[in-house]
Structure 1
Amino acid sequence: MNRNKINRKTSIFLGLFILMISFPKIVFSQQTLETINQALRYSRYSRLALKIIPVQEGDRTFVLQMPVEKIEENIDFNTYEFSYTVLSSYQEPINAQNLISLNQSDLKFETDFHYYFEKRVTIPDTQEMAVALLQVKDTRQGDMYYYHIDLISPYVFGHPDFWAYYGDNIPFDQSFVLRDEQLEFKGKGGVSLYNFHYPTAYDAPLPPMEIRPAPVPREVEVNYEGDFLLNTSKSFTKDGYYFIQSDTNSTQGMLVKTVHEAFPKVKDYDEMVDMVVYISTRREHETLLAAGDKKIALDQYWYGMLKDEEAARSVIREYFKQIEFANILFTDFKEGWKTDRGMVYTVMGPPNEVLFRPNGEIWSYLSEGSNSKITFTFARVKNILTPNYYILNRSRALQPEWFKSITTWRNGQMAF
């Protein structure tokens, strides 16, 4: 080994040691939910997908259901270090003192597709806020995966005392379900669950620089679909979304959105036409919507834009891969690509930096060829259907970078 390198390294450690002796009051910043970069949560190349699903057993007692989806093939449990904690705020340090390790003996179930942990926690009466955090470290290159959810906070109405499960007893870890797919609902409360259907369909959101308010329907149609027995299987057959409750006098419940058999991928040419709205001019999109043969119209659209068949095929693959990930990551009562976060994700790609606050989420993208960043801020809105409802803070200042990304798509140069 090169002796000069050893000496240089030793000098650095000595210098740091002297610095710490000379200035004992130096405080090294610790990671918190507000400072950790959670960009890996939205990466197209993640090896795991984490989730925490709280089931509320009492006012301050929760069962934390923690399914970890195995995206990587031939996964080895010992490749990863699993831990969890409950924080009293987004500013509380995350460190070895409050993280609790999860070992192989802590697994409640393991399947071909999931590791599943389950822990019961009780929040002290004096604690005003509680946030559950699941952390997983990939020991090969040090990648850190995080997932957190508020248990008690001003932004949640509470959590249901039941949940839905797949046939292999793993908790239902997404908000969308295929029409007619069976889920089993389990809980320890009453004997029945009540189910309300919302047939509402939504349009794509306005672009980030459009500051006029989006139109809001004066009324939202809702139909009571009756009750069904707890601890039995249930399927949902209608388009839209369902809100399921064990107590109709409470605000607590579970959202389930029904989707077509191809979801999260695109289903047909009609859907493709809807989805290209983000990178099309108004005239182009109106022409596509009015076309009798959507396939021919789309072929002309892509070729007219790129003038090259191979380039067109490449952009089509990338664009609809973005749509697919947006649907996986952001679907709630809307399809993921129709949410504000899904729109930005589709056009801009996965963010380089994702920071969370109790009242919002901040995405940053590095500008090509410079050290500057473009930032999108999503305000968190309290919503009875989901604790993760975010609306983009729109601004005309976002227009240059937005149009730049659209131009990159239309030139066939976007890649992630």
Structure 2
Amino acid sequence: MMLLLLLTLDVNFQILRDDSLNPVVRVVYTVNYNELTFISMDSAYISKYRVSLVVFNGKRQVGGVSKVRKFSVDKYETTISAEKTDTGEIQFAFKEKGKFRAIFELWDLNSLRHWSKEKKFDVKDVKNLTLGQINWNRSVSKIFSIDDTISLSLNIFNPRGDSVVLLFTVKNPSGSEFIKEEEFIGKSRFFTYNIDIPASRFSEGEYFADLMIKGYPSGKKSKKSIDFKVQKPFFESRRFIERAREMAYIAKKSFIDSLIKADPDERKKLWERFWNEKDPTPGTEKNEFLEEYYRRVDFANQHFRSPFSPGWRTDRGRVYIKLGPPDSIERHPFDIDSKAYEVWYYYTLGYRLIFVDEYNLGDYTLVNPPREDL
């Protein structure tokens, strides 16, 4: 039996239309170099992979397309870089309507590692002016550095051939407007309109964009909203301060305070020195200790947040970060004769930890810590 190792990569499915309003499935993907296998050949390192896109209607295959991508780099260090990426796209057009499923696959031909993702979508007749899918042009993420350009494309379905006007508004969570623009954008039956905004127009934070199109003379309207986030470079950002504070279980408070107060260059030096000292495999691209620590932090923030604290600062979050996932969990959320509680078992450590939700607010307290520092 062949063992298939899964790749991780970013993928963006886009459901478009051609000039005749027939559907086109377009996939934009990005894969990190360190996820691919490179073969040394004639003083270069060669990567070779195949991508495919297949569309199904139920169990029936409508059709598909595939292609092979081959490229080379000069240095071995580049082949294991988590920063370097290869980006490509593949698309398939067809002439049916109904419910469909598109499957995108990437096969690393040097290792047979494999990645697959699918998207379900409907294709219907378009009778009125419609704002279709909104796509990020330069990223599959909605997080942008303050030095980036926020670039998105709008798919406009305009079967009546109206003159189309776009009203574009960007607000922050409190409702303050940063951008409000209105302009004529076209009158074809189907067209794509691109919007490019320097991220430097925004301060660091979350934003919401409202987009509405209106057709003349029909008066038909269609609107959608999207959200995005703008961040400063890591060592200048709020995210860095959050990450520094989350080091509380492995670093002294005095060090964390000095890290936060330092300028960006000094922050970088202190950060790298701290994590390099804990790296179990120095000299390699990855720092497994750092990655595992923040994996636990992120899990805690996602699953153990309380009304009073982020997940990493709760008792369950602290235990999870320090000890890792328990071997077993007993959950008792609705026992008649007791408050909600959980029992976590760490068999190899001999720990049976009880967390009680004292006030029925989702804030679980550890009532039997086995040692002082836990």
More helix by share: 1
Comparing both chains, which one has the higher relative contact order based on Cα–Cα distances under 8 Å and sequence gaps of 6 or more? 1
Q: What TM-score, normalized to structure 2?
A: 0.46
- Higher radius of gyration, 1 or 2: 2
Q: What TM-score, normalized to structure 1?
A: 0.43
More strand by share: 2
